[in-house]
Structure 1
Amino acid sequence: MKALAFGTSNSRSSINKKLAFYAAQKINDSDISLIDINDFEMPIFSVEREKEFGIPELAHDFYNAIGDTDIVVMSFAEHNGSYTSAYKNLFDWVSRIDMKVFQNKPVLMLSTSPGQGGAQSVLASAQESAPYFSAKVVGALSLPSFFDNFDLDQGVVTNEEFNRNLSAVISNL
């Protein structure tokens, strides 16, 4: 199974990217493509830019990466209770190619943050809008207090409840 994993943060040391990779590794016999959304940085979306320059090739590359996978594992960072501007811009460009951004792929949605909220606000928003963009959400899990629940040296989640819930979601794939 091909798994596409990424965090929705443009932080070079993204904790969400680490969580997405961890979860993707739990999928048996998966071939993981871990991407960094910094590699898809584009001008801020506007209809005027689209008319003048067209849709950037990087948007097509991201859309094709989704199309070439069997499952998307993504972890949402939260900025002021919502999507990061880096992810929102990428998503806006890709949605101009096809509103079915996720192309009916199974999507495992995760979120984490340093705080106790675990970026649950953005996760709820993403989960609610997912059907409009042809995402088949197979699970949505939040990991609170990342640095208390993730061993950076070993690259593993230490929170047993999260691990049980993740295993349950993955077993249903």
Structure 2
Amino acid sequence: MKIIAFGASSSSKSINKQLATYAANLVAEVQANVDIEILDLNDFELPLFSQDKEIALGQPKAAKAFFNKLGESDAIIISFAEHNGNYSAAYKNLFDWASRIDKKVYQNKAMLLLATSPGPGGAGSVLAVATDSAPYFDGQVKASLSVPNFFDNFDVENTKLTNDELHQQLFNAVKLLMA
């Protein structure tokens, strides 16, 4: 079994990447013999999508590489950063390029969708957008979870959720992903 996980942010200190990594590591507690790969969106940096760029560039290697990584997995864990209530520009741009390869970007994969922010909203707006739209792009959302007040609920130094209730909710979400 292969799990791909990433934070949908290009920040080098992405709290969403930390949450996605933590969730991916919980998979090992649920199922043995799991191959986990954590992606960094900075490895898939692309010019801003437009039809003119697509005509000039075709399908860039980075977009194909990202699309292929998703296709090679059995399940996908994404934690979404919220920028003004929606996807980060870095993720939206990569997603737009990948969707030009095939609209079925998520390739019928089981998905766990997460979001977090430093504030009490926990990036719930972008999580709702992602959860609602994933099926249109061939994603099979098994569970989703918003983690509010990241720095109050996550120990960055020890990379773990410290809020027992949120930890249990995430653990249950991981079990649903693997079911």
TM over 0.5: yes
SS at 1:26 equivalent = helix
Could you tell me which residue of structure 2 aligns to residue 165 of structure 1?
A: 169
Matching residue within 130, 133, 156 for 2:137: 133
How far does residue 165 in structure 1 lie from its aligned partner after superposition?
A: 1.3
2:79 corresponds to 1:75? yes
Report how many residues are paired. 173
Q: Report 1:137-152 matches (<5 A).
A: 137-152=141-156
Matched, 1:7 2:7: yes
Identity of aligned residues (%): 53
Residue from 154, 158, 164 that aligns with 2:158: 154
Correspondences of 1:100-139 after superposition (within 5 Å): 100-139=104-143
How many Å apart are 1:44 and its aligned residue? 0.3
Counterpart check, 1:47 vs 2:78: no
What is the deviation of 1:51? Answer: 1.0
| d(CA) in 1 for partners of 2:35, 2:126 | 28
Q: TM-score, structure 2 length as denominator?
A: 0.94
Q: CA deviation at 1:162?
A: 1.4
Segment of structure 1 superposing worse, 13-22 or 28-37: 28-37
**Distance in 1 between the 2:67 and 2:59 partners?**
12
Q: CA deviation at 1:166?
A: 1.6
The residue identity in structure 1 corresponding to 2:17 is: K
- How far does residue 163 in structure 1 lie from its aligned partner after superposition? 1.4
- State the distance in 2 between where 1:56 and 1:124 align: 29
Displacement after TM superposition at 1:169 (Å): 2.0
Amino acid across the alignment from 1:73: I
